[in-house]
Structure 1
Amino acid sequence: MSHETVLVWMLSMNREYGTEVGIPNRVQLGEAVFPIGKGKMRAQQSGFISTGMLMTQLLPVLMMRHRRVPRAKWVDQVTPNGKHWIDLVEDPNRPGRPKPPSIGYQLTFHNSLCGMAVTQGPASAVVNIGLGIKQLKVEPKGTSVQVYFESLSHKLTAHEISTIVGNPDEVVLKRLCMLLALKEAYIKAIGQPMGFDFSRLEFDIPNRRVSGDGNPLLGWEFRIFVAKLGVARGTQLKQEEYECVCAFYRGTPETTFLFHETPQLLENWVQFINIDQLMAVSNKLAA
């Protein structure tokens, strides 16, 4: 992966795999793959965590194993506002060797889809990456699209609302989920908590503009794509669709929106795996 290349890993929870993982297993796994700061991990865990969260946290470890970098040869770093990057451990037998680029990543998961956005370069730059995922469905089940839209309209600006109302239900739902995924990706890229007021951001997609508190946000790249999954739930195979956005700050004079609407375009930078592929190598991740 070259400097400023963006890659995304998507993990499909394509079948039921138990709903919860208890704290003893969580701590044991944490000590194996994240040996630095394991005491902090113990202190932060209470009760149970979801399988989705656990699988998502394994993605950077899987990525480094895919690169054939042993776990002892890299360190997970984090900024005060929770942005992560990976540094390779210097080889004492090869002094003076140029430092490899840092690898920044952002994790997120929503329902049956876990994701990781990745880039590499200077540590100060690679942390400016975020990933937003929003499933195209109403919640709770049985709610009309109009009621669902109204329940989330407080996260939108008046202009954004005007681009949605008056359209068929499928268009309303798609545009709503795309806007929410865009805002989530940006908020995660800058390291803000999810309690951030979404209505402070405005995405004017037709005119390729984005602003925060009324001020233009320049230099950002937003990659927008759809993930379609076949998910086994009991004896039924259900189709799920997600609006996904990767946000990355490139520091250019403009803001860029890139739409990837075909599998061929996605193959260049998005890799899909499923839970069985991850579990097949899970016992080797600490090596």
Structure 2
Amino acid sequence: MEDVRSQPIASTSSQLPPPTHTPSHDCPILVWMLSLNREATKEEYEACYKVVKECVAADIPYDPTSAESFRRCITQMLPLLMMRHRRIPRAKWKDHQTPTGKHWIEQAPEEMSPEKFLHSMIGYHLAYCESLCGMAMTQGTQRKVINIGIGIRRIEVEPRGITPRAYVESVSHKLTQKELELILKPENTDDVVLRRVSIVLTLKEAYNHAVGQPVGFDYSRLEFIVEGSHPSHGATDVSPYALGDDLPLQGWEFRLFKAQLGVARQDQLSQENYQCVCAFFRGTRGESRFVWYNSEKELENWVQFINIDQMVKVIPKLMA
């Protein structure tokens, strides 16, 4: 099974709707985002845990008091929801995994021609961050679909209370000198500093997920310069690019969007903002592309948002 992670970092040379504002390709992308907009009950945890235990090969320790355990369980249910949405029973598909942890789904070959079966593989990646879980997926040949990844990062400083510039300094070991210079420009407001560091770190996260890099990978080996790639950036003498080990990352597509959630915690409602990036290796020649999505209308053709209530409601159908 081919996986670009086994190659040098920079050499990585349907039934889904095509994405909006993007030329039609093979391997169109679909994303599901699940909002954990409230705390789950013990009964809901039990129901989700039972689904994962019976239908998913995921070793999650049982702990109904753990928010982390619930996040892991409900995120693992997203492929089940996606296949159910496609009206394919659980018995009619198998989940496979490469040695580097890249997942793809193989559907039962009955009533498929060999050519259709070859292009029916579904590659996907799961990720979560605090109150937002996500799944990015695409369909095509196995070789093409496995190199997809999603990055999700809350747009906030850590620890709370420090300035955005102090936060950037605390994560500077994950950034290159050029990235730091652009993020920390003297004229950048605190909001711009926080937004830009969130974008760069989420891009690196999504790329690493797409190629199957292990936890602990040195982010400073990657350089993402996105200034000038968005219309709001205005005139700039910097051309956007992506590097790995100082070599161009060619053939990659990076889709960037934000999610705003209203989250209820202990009878208090708060707003949480997240930066999201979907990375996919298209294998085309030339520089990598940054594609920005700035409104719900731009996202509606390829990103589906759901919440806990909607997921829990369909649990009986997921096990069919």
Whether the TM-score (by the shorter chain) exceeds 0.5 is yes
Does 2:209 correspond to 1:176?
no
Asked if the contact 1:56–1:115 (Cα under 8 Å) also holds between the matched residues in 2, the reply is yes
Match of 2:73 in 1: 54
Residue 107 of structure 1 is matched in structure 2 by 126
230-239 or 46-55, which deviates more:
46-55
Residue in 1 aligned with 2:6?
none
Alpha-carbon distance, 1:51 to partner: 1.1
SS in 2 for 1:184: helix
Equivalent residue, structure 1, for 2:214: 193
CA spacing shift, 1:204–1:10, aligned 2, 3 Å: same
Alignment of 1:240 with 2:272, yes or no, is yes
Kept after mapping to 1: 8 A contact 2:52/2:76: no
What CA RMSD, in Å, does the superposition of the two structures yield over aligned residues? 2.1
Match for residue 272 of structure 1? 305
- How has the CA–CA distance of structure 1 residues 234 and 265 changed in structure 2, closer, same or farther, with 3 Å as cutoff? same
Structure 1 gaps, min length 5: none
Which residue does 1:33 correspond to in 2?
A: 55
Which of 1, 10, 28 matches 1:5? 28
Shift of 1:147: 2.0
TM-score after normalising by structure 2: 0.81
Report the Cα distance in structure 2 between the residues aligned to 1:198 and 1:180, rounded to whole angstroms: 8
Once residues 65 and 256 of structure 1 are traced to their aligned partners in structure 2, the CA distance between those partners, rounded to angstroms, is 32
* Cα distance change of structure 1 residues 273 and 96 upon mapping to structure 2, 3 Å threshold: closer
1:208 is displaced (CA, Å) by 2.4
Structure 2 Cα separation of the partners of residues 47 and 57 of structure 1: 14
- Paired AA for residue 171 in structure 1: V
Cα deviation per residue 1:92-145 (whole Å; 9 max; x = unaligned)?
xx4856415101100000000000001000011100100001111112222222
1:114–1:216 distance in 2 versus 1, CA, 3 Å: same
- Cα distance in 2 for partners of 1:260, 1:197 equals 28
- Percent identity over the alignment is 50
Contact 2:102 / 2:146 at 8 angstroms: preserved in 1? yes
CA distance, structure 2, for counterparts of residue 19 and residue 279 of structure 1:
12
Q: Distance in 2 between matches of 1:95 and 1:237?
A: 49
Q: Partners in 1 of 2:102 and 2:143 — Cα distance?
A: 10
- Pair 1:68 & 2:87 matched: yes
CA distance in 2, matches of 1:95, 1:133: 36
Report the AA paired with residue 15 of structure 1.
Answer: R
Structure 2 counterpart of 1:32, one-letter code:
E
Counterpart residue identity of residue 306, structure 2: I
1:227 corresponds in structure 2 to: 259
| Aligned residue number for residue 203 of structure 1 | 224
State the alpha-carbon separation in 2 of the partners of residues 175 and 20 from structure 1: 40
Measured at CA, do residues 95 and 52 of structure 1 come closer, stay the same or move farther in structure 2, by a change above 3 Å? closer
Please, which moves more after superposition, 246-255 or 95-104?
95-104
CA 32–19 in structure 1, closer or farther in 2 if over 3 Å, else same: closer
Alpha-carbon distance in 2 for matches of 1:242, 1:95? 40
Aligned-partner residue type, residue 316 of structure 2: N
Deviation at 1:149, TM superposition (A): 1.4
Amino acid at match of 1:33: C
Distance 1:198 1:17, change over 3 A: same
User: Does the CA contact (< 8 Å) of 2:60 and 2:72 recur in 1?
Assistant: no
Residues 1:196 and 1:19: Cα distance change in structure 2 (over 3 Å): farther
Counterpart-to-counterpart distance in 1, 2:275 and 2:223: 18
Residues 173 and 25 of structure 1: is their aligned pair in 2 closer, same or farther, counting only changes over 3 Å?
A: closer
Q: Name stretches of at least 5 consecutive residues in structure 2 with no aligned partner.
A: 1-14, 17-25, 228-238
Could you tell me which residue of structure 2 aligns to residue 285 of structure 1? 318
The code of the aligned residue for 2:134 comes to: G
- What is the one-letter code of the residue matched to 2:284? T
Give, in whole Å, the separation in 1 of the partners of 2:199 and 2:43.
29
Figure out how many residues of one structure are paired with residues of the other and give that number: 277
